[in-house]
Amino acid sequence: MPTTSDITVPSPSGDIPALLCVPDSGSGPGVVLIQEIFGVNAYIRDVAERLADEGYVALAPHMYWRIQADFAIEATGPDDLPVAFEVAGRHDPADGVADVGAALAHLAERPEVDGPVGVMGFCFGGSMAYLAAAAHDPACAVSYYGSMIGANLDQVNAISCPIQFHFGSDDPFLPNEDVAALREATAGMGNVEIHVAEGAGHAFDNHRNPMFSDPEAAATAWASTSAFLAAHLGG
């Protein structure tokens, strides 16, 4: 079983609480894992363990630490959305990009990390992973259904690392026009992969949320993600 612990990540703005998940081997390449809008909840802990099972040291910072450090909702239905949207609406993306940079730097220096460090995120975290890829040039990046990407297409030319995107074709929070615009903006960029799960909605990877979960789409996307991380991080 992977070893999970709560740690802090030093940053110029203060210590960021985070979850650290280390594989059985005790070491491996690193992945900074960025939460959905629901915080570092059981689902994100599951994904951290999923990464550790594949040989990665996963670090999930609590991105809302300036607002409510321990914020986490085990979202199961529509009634959970307004609370999460309210907290997410108070989060400053510039602070988030800086925090991901601090997490990348900290993870790279940890003794458990042997190899390069990448970043991945889901929903809110998919947007943060995209923006962090532009700002910090990690070894690679994986972005699942980041709804802020369409409004930040001007950042795409700053991304030089390999980056993989995942979207659902029936996502009510992310227009297909944004995906088309991303395709157009990245045409000819050999470092970019875009995958669209036909018929899948938002947050289709979240197996703990019956409102969103799509096991078939999730399995297909994770197979692509696993191969991508192995190719660029060596896990």
Scan for tokens 């191969």, then name that residue. 227
The single residue of 171, 178, 205, 214 carrying the catalytic annotation is 171
171: annotated active-site residue: yes
The single residue of 62, 106, 123, 232 carrying the catalytic annotation is 123
Q: Provide the 8-state DSSP code for 226.
A: H
Measured at the CA of 108, the angle between CA 106 and CA 112, to 5 degrees, comes to 100
pLDDT value at residue 119: 99
pLDDT value at residue 169: 98
Q: For each of the chain's 235 residues, which pLDDT tens digit applies?
A: 899 999 999 999 999 999 999 999 999 999 999 999 999 999 999 999 999 999 999 999 999 999 998 899 998 888 888 999 999 999 999 999 999 999 999 999 999 999 999 999 999 999 999 999 999 999 999 999 999 999 999 999 999 999 999 999 999 999 999 999 999 999 999 999 999 999 999 999 999 999 899 999 999 999 999 999 999 999 7
6: annotated active-site residue: no
pLDDT value at residue 3: 95
pLDDT value at residue 80: 86
pTM for the model: 0.97
CA dihedral of residues 156, 157, 163, 169 (deg, nearest 10): 40
Which residues have a Cβ under 8 Å from the Cβ of 159 and sit 6 or more positions away? 130, 133, 134, 141, 189, 191, 192
138, 184, 145: which is closest to 162 by C-alpha? 138
CATH number of the structural domain 3-233: 3.40.50.1820
Pair of tokens at residue 190: 């050999």
C-alpha to C-alpha distance for 100 and 120, rounded to whole angstroms: 10
C-alpha to C-alpha distance for 74 and 72, rounded to whole angstroms: 7
CA dihedral of residues 22, 32, 11, 107 (deg, nearest 10): 40
123: annotated active-site residue: yes
Q: Which residues of 90-125 are buried (b: 16+ CB within 10 A; e: fewer)?
A: ebeeeebbbbbbbbbebbbebebbebbbbbbbbbbb
Q: Where are the domains of the chain?
A: 3-233
pLDDT value at residue 135: 98
The single residue of 62, 106, 166, 202 carrying the catalytic annotation is 202
Environment class of 206 (CB within 10 Å of its CB; exposed 0-12, middle 13-18, buried 19+): buried
Query: In angstroms, what CA-CA distances link 229 with 96, 137, 224?
Result: 23, 15, 9
Pair of tokens at residue 99: 């925090």
